[in-house]
Amino acid sequence: MNGWLKNRSTYLIGGAGIFVAGVFVGRSISSPPQQSTASTGDLAALATPPLFAESHSRKPAPTRDAEEKSHDQSAKKIIAGFRDALAHPSWGRRETSRFYRLSDGISASNVHEIVDFAQSLPKGQERMRILGTTLGRWAEFDPGAAVASAESIPNAYERESALRSVMNGWAETDPSAALSWAQSLPAGRARDQAIGSAVSAVANTNPQAAVALLQSSSGSSRHYLPYWSVFNRWATSDVAAAAEQAARLNPGSGRNSALQGVASAWIDQDPEAAFAWAGSLSEVNTRRDALNTVLRNWVNRDPARATDAIMSLPATSFRDDMIGQMTQQWAETDVQAAFQWVQALPDGDSKNRAVGNVLQAWAQSQPSAAADYVASLPAGQMKDTAIQSIAWQLARSDIQAGLAWVEKLPKNDARSSAMDRIVSQWAQAEPRAAADFVARLSDVEQRKKLAGSIAREWARSDADSALSWARTLGDVSLRDTLLPAIISRIAENDPGVASRMIGELPASVQTNAISNVASEWAKSDPAGASRWLLTLPEGKARQDGYNNLIGRWAPADANAAAKWVAALSPGESRDAATVSLVRYLTPGNPTAAVQWAESIGHENYRKTQLEAALGSWMKTDTTAATAWINRSTLSDDVKRRLLPQSR
């Protein structure tokens, strides 16, 4: 990346509403971003920078006679360029460079027209991208006017983003003035962010001075100070000094970010030395982060030496994780070499994961060859892992080839999982075709499982089509499984509609459908579900519905659920509701559970629930429970089971 592009890279990022924590200017693309949460109140202070006059007197705005004479043409040309760039959206290097080249033509004579164009764009992301680029450039020659323009933006989020871009541009051309102004702001995130921008700009020419500024920025949050970029820039010229200084920082004061910045720069100069240094760091998490930075960069340059370095680490979970990451990264550039290396690893979970990573990369470029290889592997965990990797890739690239490949595999759990993965992916794009395929599978259990998954997802987007398809199935058992599942999915969004659909279903599936709808409806409106269930005739469907209703209602509002049950007429449906209530009460309130259990009309249900509730009561209050049992009409056998026996 050219130097001018690196130094101005944050205008566009700020314009997109993304604040790169601690790095406003001059940070390389490998540094980790953070989202700003600055308040509008903090950023409003940017509207009245006290040092603009000083900045202007020291650094007058450049004159551009030629541009001013042709400002109409210049503005139109720049706007046309921006329009064309937006028509082919990309965040790639070339597209980003194009934005900055266009911004070079912005001057005092045309900037207002370009800002007006940006603010007229209907799409927020496009508007913020052009505004960020334009305001950042404007701030290079007139920060006061740029701030005033940014502060006038009505949308708070876009205003904050624009103000960050302005600060970036000012710090790029006059970091001393920008820093002085930033330090004069009231304490808060806006001040911290502004200081970070200015410090980053200082680091472009004097990283040691930037480090001193970091350490003197008392009261600033380290989250907004550019430790990574400052130490990375210092390490490019004096890695030993930068590493020594970073290691001396106090924990929690940006030390870890500083060490990562050093590691990223050192790997370009001397990978072995960088690896040895990272491994010598005393704090465990810092050492692992530094090693991760070194190894991930090293494997791109020299994978053979990088992987040798990984294997020299102690055999821990960290090494296993690094093996997985490195092989996946290596396979993206040389899958054959990566695969040859992982095959020589010791057998175990680490090898299996590494093989899966490589095969997944292989399947992207040569899916047939990778699939054939996996099919030839001997049975075992490595083959099962590899099958899942290939299935995942084929599901994304060639559904039909994936299905044909899976059907050739031996019938086992790995084959079933691979089929599940591919069919699930297929169903997202073509649910009817996937459903028809599944309906023809010979494996009954897999057919039911996959068909149920497809039908439920299909019902989210097109419930009528899913129901219509399920009704036509010749397999009655499969049909009776799917229809209630589809109704249940509909009930998630509109239980009232789902309840009315039940009457159109075959009688054989209505009981399950009622139970499912009652359960879903009770999640959002148990009272509404209860009123619907009361309209149903006595029978198993209503009993199951009552049972599911109380199972959902009691945990949310036990008193309301109990009041509803108490008002029910005696009968089997009331018993079903009471059993559900007793099951809920037994662990936490066994006394109440016993009282409710006594009201159950069905003798067997009453005895079963009483024993369970009394057993729980004995654990919390043995004396009271024992007295109740002795007074009860329970049989002697039951009493002996419940009461402790003397020896």
DSSP string, 575-589: HHHHHHHHHHHHHH-
**Do 469 and 435 contact (CB within 8 A), yes or no?**
yes
pLDDT score recorded for residue 95: 63
519: enclosing H helix or E strand: helix 507-524
pLDDT digits (tens, 9 = 90+) for 108-151: 999 999 999 988 988 777 888 899 889 989 989 998 899 889 88
Give the pLDDT band of residue 224 (cuts 50, 70, 90): low
Residue 541 lies in a domain: no
Cα angle value 559/565/569 (rounded, 5°)? 155
Residues 272-312: tens digit of each pLDDT: 999 999 999 888 888 888 898 899 889 888 988 998 999 99
pLDDT score of 268 more than 70: yes
Query: Is 318 a member of any domain?
Result: no
Other beta carbons within 10 Å of 34: 13
Categorize the per-residue pLDDT at 253 as very low, low, confident or very high, splitting at 50, 70 and 90: low
* CA–CA gap between residue 227 and residue 260 (Å, rounded): 9
Instruction: Say yes or no to pLDDT of 62 above 70.
Output: no
Q: What is the pLDDT of residues 547-592, one digit of tens each?
A: 999 999 999 999 999 999 999 999 999 999 999 999 999 999 999 9
| In the predicted structure, residue 487 carries a pLDDT above the cut 80 | yes
**302-319 tens-digit pLDDT:** 988 998 999 999 989 899
Closest CA to 113 of 159, 154, 67, 151: 67
The pLDDT value recorded for residue 27 is 28
Residue 144 lies in a domain: yes
User: Is the pLDDT at 61 greater than 60, yes or no?
Assistant: no
Q: Is residue 358 part of a domain?
A: no
In terms of Cα–Cα distance, which of 164, 16, 23, 20 is closest to 96? 16
The mean pLDDT of the chain is 79
- What letter does residue 496 receive in the DSSP assignment? H
Tell me, what's the pLDDT at 531? 93
pLDDT digits (tens, 9 = 90+) for 408-435: 787 888 888 888 888 888 888 888 888 8
pLDDT at res. 98: 78
What are the distances in angstroms from CA 367 to CA 297, 361, 391, 404, 412?
28, 9, 10, 13, 22
Task: State the average pLDDT over residues 223-250.
Answer: 85
The Cα 24–Cα 168 span in angstroms is 6
The yes-or-no verdict on residue 4 having pLDDT over 60 is no
**Under a CB-based contact definition with an 8 Å cutoff, are residues 286 and 256 in contact?**
yes
On the question of pLDDT at 33 being above 90, the answer is: no
Tokens of 520: 């879903």
Residue 90's pLDDT is what? Answer: 59
Q: In this predicted structure, what is the pLDDT of residue 112?
A: 92
Is 368 a domain residue?
A: no
For residue 2, the enclosing domain spans 1-206
Q: CA 595, CA 495: separation in Å to the nearest integer?
A: 33
Give the pLDDT mean for 172-195: 76
Residue 48 has pLDDT above 70, yes or no: no
Q: What is the pLDDT of residues 604-638, one digit of tens each?
A: 999 999 999 999 999 999 999 999 999 988 888 88
Structural domain includes residue 142: yes
Residue 543 has pLDDT above 60, yes or no: yes
* Domain count within the chain: 1
- Number of Cβ within a 10 Å radius of residue 309: 22
Q: Tell me, yes or no, whether 589 lies in a domain.
A: no
Q: Which residue from 497, 436, 438 is spatially nearest to 469, judged by alpha carbons? A: 436
Minimum mean pLDDT range among 33-47, 96-110, 129-143, 449-463 = 33-47
Query: What's the confidence (pLDDT) of residue 26?
Result: 30
pLDDT at 397 over 80: no
Q: What single DSSP character describes residue 344?
A: T
| Residue 106 to residue 112: CA distance in whole angstroms | 9
Q: Among 1-10, 40-49, 377-386, 588-597, which range has the highest average pLDDT?
A: 588-597
Residue 162 falls inside a structural domain: yes
Q: Would you mind telling me the total number of residues written for the chain in this entry?
A: 647
pLDDT confidence of residue 154: 84
Average pLDDT (36-60) is 35
Q: Which residue has the higher pLDDT, 577 or 6?
A: 577
What's the confidence (pLDDT) of residue 638?
86
Hey, how many other C-beta atoms are within 10 angstroms of the C-beta on 305?
Answer: 14
pLDDT of 7 > 60? The answer is no
Element (H, E) at 217: none
The Cα-based distances of 372 to 138, 332, 401 in angstroms read 59, 20, 12
Q: Which pTM value belongs to this model?
A: 0.46
